[in-house]
Amino acid sequence: MLIYALVAGVLFGLYFSLVGIGLNLVFGVMRIVNLAHGDILMLGAFIAFGVVGIFGIDPLFAVPLAFAVFVLVGLLLYWVLVPRLQGSVNPEMLSIILFFGLSQVIEAITTIFAGTSERSIQSRLLGTVFSTIKVKLFGGKPGASGPISILGQGFPAPWVVAAGTSLIAIAFVYFYLYRTRLGTLTRAVMSRRDEAFATGIDVDRVSAAAFGIGLGLAAVAGVFAPFMFGSVTPAFGADATVTSFAIVVLGSLGNPLGTALGGVVYGVCYMLVQTYLSSWADLLPYVLLIFILLLRPSGLLGRRVRVA
Amino acid sequence: MPSSLKHLLFIVAPLIVLLAVLPGVYQNHLLLFNFVIFLVLAQGVNIIYGFTGYLPFGYVGFFGAGAYGFAIMVMHFQTPAVLAVLVGGLVGVALGLLLTPLLRLSGAYFAIANLAASLAVLHFVANPALENITKGPYGVSLTGTFNPNMAYAAAVVVLALTLGAVVFLKNSRFGLALQAVREDAVSASMAGVNVVKMRVIAWLASALVAGLAGGVYAWYVSVFYPDNVFSGDFSIFAIVFALFGGVATICGPIVGVIILYGIYNLIGFTTPQYFQLIYGLLIMGLVLFLPAGLVSLATRRGWHVP
């Protein structure tokens, strides 16, 4: 039971890292609190519903689609909202209220078009593309992929697929930040926005890219949400936002590896509490968030100290 | 005439008298009561956000704690309602004291931590394991103290106290010091302001106000569930109303509540989604085009707004 909880915690934790990493990027670069983060996740889940419902294919195809769509949405939203916001007196505080408004708008529009019912996808649909390829190349009989066995315990295949995708996404963010020119500029803006501006970096372009990628990653995480959480409703966003914050703060700001660690720590804690103290599991994200903020506000891997 | 007296005479007194008389003329008492509650909460947000710059995104935590303080006193100790309301206020203050370490955080960190705190209190109160004390998620029913007229009167009294506190902040050296801390904490402490003490007092005052409001609310509705009294809508509405009117003034939050909550009730309750849509758009428009609130329209022209 302990081993099951630990492995499940790591799998969930990797997925949670993917949930938080977009938020980390947006907050780290722009000092903007994207309270609509969870709603982007919810919209990603709806893209998965669309892909399955309309085309009847593997929801994994929703991953590149969701990413591409929401990078574009992010770029668009950035130019509409952020420059105006940055010009105001207290952008950090007002961003909370602004993006709360946005999350309300998203939730309302989704409810108007999709209703409030809980939706889910049969978990055997995920990963059918792999089993089809396997059958084509190596023969064998097609069929639903059963639980995947790790350390002698069986885990649902979607958990493993989601964890794998998260690893790829984290590697992608790492590559973007540390191996590309735009990523270097992004890190410059993260550490000192005004100095970056003074050295002639096009802060707006860099921020817009980070905003787009952040939203794209959130949508990718959303594609897996129906499998990880069982079902998704338009109201799913608010809780997802707070959870994402717990993860991001648990890791540290502006450090994708930090978020990966934060996600895993969070996942393991979650699974352990779920296993041994299930009636108190709901409290965990909030209490953990408050304690981390108070005891180690710079996060587990953070070096910079925030001044109160 | 000192300006504090002027504010009390020409803003606070007419409003209180109006609200005290209206139930005799206007039939929808629940609506009036909600107006009073939101006036109190918006002014409570004004005290902490307007004067110190901390955005209490989980303000409803104090409100819900006050409501449950009231409920527990009535359920387990059979105290009279007025006493239970006072206890509700004290529970709010106690929660505020518990959360004072959050004041070490700045900006968005504080807002998020406060939101998390309110959700933690909600999940704590609603936990089935505490059914003996709080009735968990099944809600409480306090028919024994049900008395809407008295509860309404109590709400107006709480409102009067709250407005008095804001008038004091607006006209005293204490309020001036708080605003100095908000603008630049380092300079203010150089000028001899005890920054930590100032912030804690404002924080606790704002918690007290919300706790009292929660107690009165519990008294008025008498049957409620954790999700009702810890609904995030209370925080959001209070913040948006205060912001819409303009914070760090006496009139701003009042005007904000009357206009926005008025519109809210005029549109009607038929389809909540459309409502949510309009509200979301309104909030976004407010932040983008009028971040300093309605009063900024007047102050920009050089008019002084109390």
Length of chain B (residues): 306
> Would you place residue B217 in the very low, low, confident or very high pLDDT band (cuts 50, 70, 90)?
very high
User: Are A108 and B129 inside 8 Å of each other by CB?
Assistant: no
Q: Do residues B94 and B244 lie in contact, with contact meaning Cβ atoms separated by under 8 Å?
A: no
What is the helix (H) or strand (E) element at residue A81, kind and residue range?
A: helix A62-86
| B240 or B62, greater pLDDT | B62
User: Are A101 and B115 inside 8 Å of each other by CB?
Assistant: no
Closest in A97, A111, A280 to B287, CB measured: A97
- Collapsing DSSP states into helix, strand and coil, what is residue B192? coil
Residues B106, B114: Cα–Cα separation, whole Å? 11
User: Are A297 and B284 inside 8 Å of each other by CB?
Assistant: no
Q: Which of B226, B241, B4 is nearest to B135 (CA)?
A: B226
> Would you place residue A67 in the very low, low, confident or very high pLDDT band (cuts 50, 70, 90)?
very high
Section B190-194 average pLDDT: 88
> Would you place residue A146 in the very low, low, confident or very high pLDDT band (cuts 50, 70, 90)?
low
Residues A35, B111: Cα–Cα separation, whole Å? 11
When scoring A100, A112, A244, A276 by the number of chain B Cβ atoms within 10 A, the one with the most, hence best to mutate, is: A100
Section B190-218 average pLDDT: 92
Question: Is the pLDDT reported for residue A126 higher than 80?
Answer: no
Domain ranges of chain A: 2-115+122-304
Query: Averaging pLDDT over each range in B37-46, B222-231, B252-261, B297-306, which range is the top one?
Result: B37-46
Residue B275 CA to its chain's centroid (Å): 22
| B112 or B41, greater pLDDT | B41
- pLDDT tens-place string over residues B262-305: 888 877 666 777 878 888 888 888 888 888 888 888 888 878 77
User: What's the number of CA atoms in the CB half-sphere (13 Å) around residue A272?
Assistant: 13
- pLDDT tens-place string over residues A233-243: 877 877 788 78
Question: Is the pLDDT reported for residue A305 higher than 60?
Answer: no
Closest residue in B to A238 (Cα) is: B232
Q: How far is CA A211 from CA A93, A194, A215, A253, B293, in A?
A: 18, 18, 6, 15, 28
Average pLDDT, chain A: 81
Residues B174, B198: Cα–Cα separation, whole Å? 8
Chain position carrying tokens 């990880």: A228
Length of chain A (residues): 308
What pLDDT is stored for residue A307 in this prediction? 38
Percent of chain A residues past pLDDT 90, beyond the cut? 11
What pLDDT is stored for residue B219 in this prediction? 92
Question: Is the pLDDT reported for residue B85 higher than 50?
Answer: yes
CA distance A79 to chain B (A): 13
What pLDDT is stored for residue B39 in this prediction? 94
What pLDDT is stored for residue B202 in this prediction? 93
Section A275-286 average pLDDT: 76
User: Are B113 and A308 inside 8 Å of each other by CB?
Assistant: no
Q: If you ran DSSP here, which 8-state letter would residue B302 be given?
A: T
Section A173-178 average pLDDT: 89
- pLDDT tens-place string over residues B26-78: 888 889 999 999 999 999 999 999 888 888 988 999 999 999 999 999 988 88
- Collapsing DSSP states into helix, strand and coil, what is residue B288? helix
Question: Is the pLDDT reported for residue A306 higher than 50?
Answer: no
Beta bridge partners of A244: none
| A40 or A33, greater pLDDT | A40
Per CB-CB distance under 8 Å, the chain B contacts of A89 are 291-292
Percent of chain B residues past pLDDT 90, beyond the cut? 33
What pLDDT is stored for residue A139 in this prediction? 57
Average pLDDT, chain B: 88
Residues B91, B211: Cα–Cα separation, whole Å? 7
Q: How far is CA A230 from CA A160, A165, A244, in A?
A: 15, 18, 18
Q: Do residues A104 and A235 lie in contact, with contact meaning Cβ atoms separated by under 8 Å?
A: no
Size of interface A-B (CB pairs under 8 A): 135
The pTM assigned to this predicted structure is 0.83
Percent of chain B residues past pLDDT 70, beyond the cut? 99
What pLDDT is stored for residue A136 in this prediction? 65
Closest residue in B to A96 (Cα) is: B108
- pLDDT tens-place string over residues B86-101: 999 999 999 999 999 8
User: Are A279 and B105 inside 8 Å of each other by CB?
Assistant: no
Question: Is the pLDDT reported for residue B105 higher than 90?
Answer: no
Q: How many CB atoms lie within 10 A of CB A196?
A: 19
User: Are A283 and B239 inside 8 Å of each other by CB?
Assistant: no
